[in-house]
């Protein structure tokens, strides 16, 4: 029994069980909660958060943290809106610039962390302030996006059994698949897990620690920029106040999904179950109609405390006689 509790998949299994319990409780309590389109809306409304969580998963697995992703998301929406509306750039060119900029921003943070031996918390906190500040240098006010391609993507719906999905939801699922492959099927993923487990051991094994850190934070920055584009499709605007606290939601989703904050332990697929748990909590509160939206934060905070305690218990060594 003790060994089963310490199995790497135990925390992720608890999250899936919690998700199913919430879905069953919602279906019993509220008519229409279990409708197929309501379930699909969980993915549609949280597509940007899933993309953020995938990038954050690799960062946390490597033993780091990235507090800048929410600000990079907002900066991406602002840059995209300004280039589209003021500079009259084409949508494909804007997307390439935004994605490349996000990846470069992340790699620069990774370089500072590795070469100057700085704490990821401090570096990415500075990155968060920098990115939010740059938003207001570009525009203090919200910039509405009316470019035809963005509006068309925003309004596109693809039919699936039981309802429809948006292009953003499909992109988020593709990013999740890429993240799973990178973490569990590539040499890069093995280096990420080794780095998160023990950086000195990874160095002694001859693994490219520096390159891995740069790529991890570069991938996180890329995901944040992509999430910014998805958020831009969703809101059709760019604004410095977009997605405030999104970095904390992404960290919460990753931890609730079963990834250890200390690094080297967890599954990228857990990001999906973590995001869905957060989405179901929001939907339950919306269906209730009598509770303040702040209860979402309260419940998420309580869950995060609970999963941190569970992780601490799981990190204890297993007795040989257990």
Cβ-contact 180, 276 below 8 angstroms: no
Give domain status of residue 319, yes or no.
no
pTM score: 0.94
Q: Which residues, 6+ apart, have CB-to-CB distance to 47 below 8 Å?
A: 166, 168, 169, 171, 172, 230, 234
Distance CA 61, CA 152 (A): 37
Give domain status of residue 219, yes or no.
yes
Report the domain count for the chain: 1
Cβ-contact 132, 240 below 8 angstroms: yes
pLDDT computed for residue 6 by the predictor? 55
Cβ-contact 277, 181 below 8 angstroms: no
Distance CA 62, CA 57 (A): 9
Distance CA 83, CA 97 (A): 10
Residue 144 sits at φ, ψ, to 5 deg, of -75, 135
Give domain status of residue 106, yes or no.
yes
Bridge partners for 215 per DSSP: none
Tally of CB atoms within 10 A around 88: 8
pLDDT at 321 over 50: no
Residues 293-318 have pLDDT tens digits of 788 889 889 988 888 887 777 665 54
Cβ-contact 222, 130 below 8 angstroms: no
- Nearest to residue 108, comparing CAs of 252, 230, 271, 217? 217
End-to-end CA distance of the chain: 7
Give domain status of residue 1, yes or no.
no
CA distances (Å), origin 41, targets 38, 66, 256, 273:
5, 27, 20, 15
Distance CA 42, CA 101 (A): 29
Distance CA 198, CA 311 (A): 18
Residue 34 sits at φ, ψ, to 5 deg, of -85, 10
pLDDT computed for residue 242 by the predictor? 96
Give domain status of residue 74, yes or no.
yes
Cβ-contact 55, 224 below 8 angstroms: yes
Residues 24-41 have pLDDT tens digits of 999 999 999 999 999 999
Residues 233-245 have pLDDT tens digits of 999 999 999 999 9
Pairing status of strand 158-160 against strand 163-165: antiparallel
- Nearest to residue 47, comparing CAs of 235, 256, 292, 185? 235
C-alpha of 179 from chain center: 11
Alpha helices in 6-46 (DSSP H): 10-29, 36-45
pLDDT computed for residue 312 by the predictor? 75
Distance CA 97, CA 173 (A): 23
Give domain status of residue 5, yes or no.
no
Give domain status of residue 192, yes or no.
yes
Tally of CB atoms within 10 A around 75: 29
Residues 157-189 have pLDDT tens digits of 999 999 999 999 999 999 999 999 999 999 999
Domain CATH for 125: 1.10.3470
Which residue segment(s) compose the domain that 89 sits in?
Answer: 13-314
Reported confidence tier of residue 72, pLDDT bands at 50, 70, 90: very high
Cβ-contact 60, 217 below 8 angstroms: no
CA angle in degrees (0–180, nearest 5) for 177-183-187:
125
Residue with tokens 């257990």: 322
Query: H or E segment at 278?
Result: helix 270-288
């Amino acid at each position: 029994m003790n060994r089963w509790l310490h199995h790497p998949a135990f925390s992720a299994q608890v999250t899936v069980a919690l998700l199913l319990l919430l879905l069953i409780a919602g279906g019993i309590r509220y008519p229409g909660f279990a409708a197929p389109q309501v379930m699909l809306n969980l993915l549609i409304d949280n597509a940007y958060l899933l993309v953020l969580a995938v990038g954050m998963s690799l960062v946390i697995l490597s033993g780091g943290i990235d507090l800048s992703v929410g600000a990079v998301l907002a900066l991406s929406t602002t840059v995209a809106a300004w280039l589209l509306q003021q500079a009259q750039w084409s949508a494909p060119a804007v997307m390439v610039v935004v994605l490349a900029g996000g990846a470069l921003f992340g790699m620069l943070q990774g370089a500072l962390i590795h070469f100057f031996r700085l704490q990821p918390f401090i570096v990415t906190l500075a990155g968060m302030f920098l990115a939010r500040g740059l938003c207001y240098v570009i525009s203090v006010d919200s910039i509405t996006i009316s470019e035809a391609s963005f509006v068309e993507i925003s309004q596109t719906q693809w039919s699936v059994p039981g309802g429809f999905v948006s292009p953003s939801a499909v992109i988020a699922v593709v990013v999740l698949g890429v993240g799973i492959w990178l973490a569990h099927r590539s040499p890069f993923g093995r280096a990420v897990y080794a780095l998160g487990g023990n950086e000195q051991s990874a160095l002694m094994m001859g693994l490219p620690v520096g390159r891995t850190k740069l790529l991890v934070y570069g991938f996180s920055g890329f995901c944040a920029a992509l999430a910014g584009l998805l958020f831009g499709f969703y809101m059709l605007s760019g604004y410095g106040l977009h997605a405030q606290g999104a970095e904390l939601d992404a960290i919460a989703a990753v931890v609730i999904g079963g990834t250890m904050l200390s690094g080297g332990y967890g599954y990228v697929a857990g990001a999906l179950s973590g995001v869905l748990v957060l989405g179901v909590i929001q939907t339950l509160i919306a269906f209730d109609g009598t509770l303040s939206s702040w209860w979402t934060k309260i419940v998420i905070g309580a869950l995060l405390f609970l999963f941190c305690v569970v992780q601490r218990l799981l990190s204890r060594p297993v007795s040989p006689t257990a």
